[in-house]
Chain A
């Protein structure tokens, strides 16, 4: 049984092998896509088994997949597949234009696989230490992707990313140690004291002082990975400088992994202190993030930075959902995590086509995408409406659920503030993206993709993603609903 989740986590390593074998972006990309497909199939099978029975676990719980784990594994696997499709076309174009040397293409695919494997692994373990190691490994791999296009600004962004996130992750390690220390004196082996499944079961006999400190350090530490304000400073740089498919992975998957880690610590803290304690911490971070995201989204010229600030905002919304708590709040937060990863992933991928075609990320230098590149322009416009939470897309449903949770938790003033900020964000964001897509066509701009393979792999992930969030906005399938409900039960 445990071969399934391990296989799912290892499948993206096909891309790594491809990177080691060949420097041709098309070939390496195809292997990476095969890895992504295999990963998604194995993850879905694992999820089905988990839903049918009990959590899949190995001795010592080093491998442990429950409802929440397989839910996050699914969101990550979807993003991995979409981004590896996008990587194929994006890197093929960059290689043809000479932006990327063959060596850099190799490095890209090799590291891409390790990055994906690290993320998949971190949601499939119950050991807090191993969780830390895998998150750190995924982060380090992603750091390599940020400056890969060879710009000095990329190196600077990468440096800021590695410094701030290692600082944060060190705090998370200190938090993990304090939580471990809080379990001193409980029955069970030291290995058990580092296993959240065990800690949640014995939460009421944990030492309160150490646990409180450990929880706060972990929220701040993994919060740095998530990009919660004020630990978000690295995020806009790193997400805008990375090649677009890597940005999609960073925004769509890695942020969720950080959120997943926080959710596990919330489950432990809730068991000891009741839901109010963690809820207040998350509401503070969540509102700060939405507020800062909103302020920085007004009049942003670099559209990838705009997307990055939007990620800060959406992570804030998830934190607010978790903070409102209750069935509705946690359900909404998890659904939002899924919707946001698909939405942001497709937006970065379609944005990647725009960058390739126009050769710039400055929104005031881009105009008429809808006329010059009809398909890209349409998906860009619809994708930005979707990410802003307009009906009938999935993000509308999840944000609506979170708003309802706010009323149910009797925080009407906070809900009012939340809605106000969403309006500001809508205006700021849509002003930029509509300005880019509408208007007269630019004659010099043509599609950057050559040949059927490149065109297909560039547009397919975007259309698939749009279809998925449209579907999620109209209907939450029964199995997903069950998976979400089971996950919510693990957190509350």
Chain B
């Protein structure tokens, strides 16, 4: 019985259990749309891409992009079309401009600053350890404690 069940599981499923049919008919167009839509922001639900969003505006914009792809416009032309209407905000990756320098460079500045702070702190601590003088009495006591520890183990 177990064997029968296993064989039944291994049988290929019915072929109609495929993916949902894409809205457009041309798979090449849909492929380019998918590729572009993940780079573009939905302006209604701002943390979603055009590919993810179900907002009516996102649907309209996907329709526009699809039509531009069918018209054989280049990716740059399509993106320029959207940026001229909605601004750089429509791009998920902001372009490097004078207004976005801090955005792009900021994390690296913080990283370098953190690194410098760490090095300085470690050097200071190192000096403190070296400066800590111990007396003859303390040294003897440490030796004694260490040798006791060896005996115990």
A associates with B: no
